[in-house]
């Protein structure tokens, strides 16, 4: 047998320099990938926070609108006068004169506005309060009061929009509707001439008189929500979110 006299090719691996360059490139690519993943995660979180904010806005205004539109309603206006349907009341409820169907002050959290309205329900249960239910018995005045209250949610201090329901001379139920509401202001569409015919001015709570509360046709509610993006990178000066809705009182239509 003849043995080949040609030398074998030398077997070589990667050098340390080549391995180091490959590792650096891999780290660079992984860093870019992690950066994309983190950006995507932050965007998804922000979208969820904004969606929750929008839900809170809708819930708050829907419940307030459903309740306030019923202000002054009672089932038998042909046989019963307004002063009889809504007699004078004092503490522990909101103080109101006979025939007065809404009132407001600035005793909410942080000196924010509050608003209380009165109406009666009827047998079909179509007149709903802020809890989404119809009250009984009928032909009885019910009061709903909206205000801001300091609270703790999941161990975090916050301010919640709260609704209290009262009947007769006692408070029946109090429930927080939405959280992270930092302010509430109310302006009343009033006929300042006292003839109760049409709105000629919107008056802030602090400027309302006893006679003005007897001549309200609509209310303008402004809720201020904490910005869910505040404090995040690039959002250190994120302003609060302001949401306003004008609600007409059907009983004044």
pTM for the whole structure: 0.79
pLDDT at 212 over 70: yes
The two structure tokens encoding residue 87: 């007699």
pLDDT at 7 over 70: no
Separation between Cα atoms, residue 164 and residue 153, nearest integer Å: 19
pLDDT at 27 over 90: no
Query: What are φ and ψ of residue 48, in 5° steps?
Result: -65, -40
Residue 192's contacts (CB-CB under 8 Å, 6 or more residues apart) are 200, 201, 203, 212, 215
Q: Averaged over 9-26, what is the pLDDT?
A: 74
Q: Averaged over 228-251, what is the pLDDT?
A: 80
Please give, one letter per residue, the 3-state secondary structure of the chain.
Answer: CCCCCCCCCCCCCCCHHHHHHHHHHHHHHHHHHHHHHHHHHHHHHHHHHHHHHHHHHHHHHHHHHHHHHCCCCCCCCCCCCHHHHCCCECCCCCCECCCCCEEEECCCHHHCCEEEEEECCCCCCCCCCCCCCCCCCCCCCEEEEEEEEEEEECCEEEEEEEEEEEECCEEEEEEEEECCEEEEEEEEEECCCCCCCCCCEEEEHHHCCCCHHHHEEEEEEEEEECCCCCCCCCCCCCCCEEEEEEEECHHHC
Per the listing, tokens 């609270």 go with 151
Residues linked to residue 114 through DSSP beta bridges, in sequence order: 105
Report the share of the chain in percent with pLDDT over 90.
22
Tens digit of pLDDT for each residue in 103-146? Answer: 999 999 999 999 999 988 776 666 667 777 666 666 777 889 99
């Amino acid at each position: 047998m003849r043995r080949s006299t040609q030398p074998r090719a030398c077997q070589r691996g990667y050098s340390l320099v080549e391995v180091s360059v490959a590792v650096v490139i891999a780290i660079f690519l992984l860093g870019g990938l992690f950066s994309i993943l983190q950006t995507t995660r932050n965007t998804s979180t922000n979208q969820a926070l904004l969606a929750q904010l929008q839900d809170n806005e809708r819930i708050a205004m829907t419940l307030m609108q459903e309740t306030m539109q019923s202000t002054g309603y009672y089932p038998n206006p042909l046989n019963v006068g307004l002063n009889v349907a809504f007699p004078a009341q004092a503490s522990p409820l909101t103080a109101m004169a006979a025939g007065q169907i809404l009132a407001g002050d600035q005793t909410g959290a942080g000196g924010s506005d509050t608003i209380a309205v009165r109406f009666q329900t009827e047998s079909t249960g179509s007149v709903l309060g802020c809890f989404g239910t119809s009250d009984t018995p009928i032909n009885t005045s019910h009061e709903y009061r909206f205000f801001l209250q300091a609270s703790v949610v999941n161990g975090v201090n916050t301010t919640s929009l709260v609704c209290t329901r009262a009947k007769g001379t006692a408070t029946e139920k109090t429930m927080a509707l939405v959280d992270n509401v930092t302010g509430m202001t109310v302006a009343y569409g009033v006929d300042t001439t006292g003839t109760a015919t049409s709105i000629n001015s919107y008056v802030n709570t602090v400027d309302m008189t006893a006679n003005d509360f007897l001549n309200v046709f609509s209310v303008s509610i402004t809720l201020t929500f904490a910005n869910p993006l505040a404090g995040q990178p690039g959002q250190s000066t994120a302003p609060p979110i302001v949401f306003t809705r004008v609600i007409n009182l059907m009983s004044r239509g």
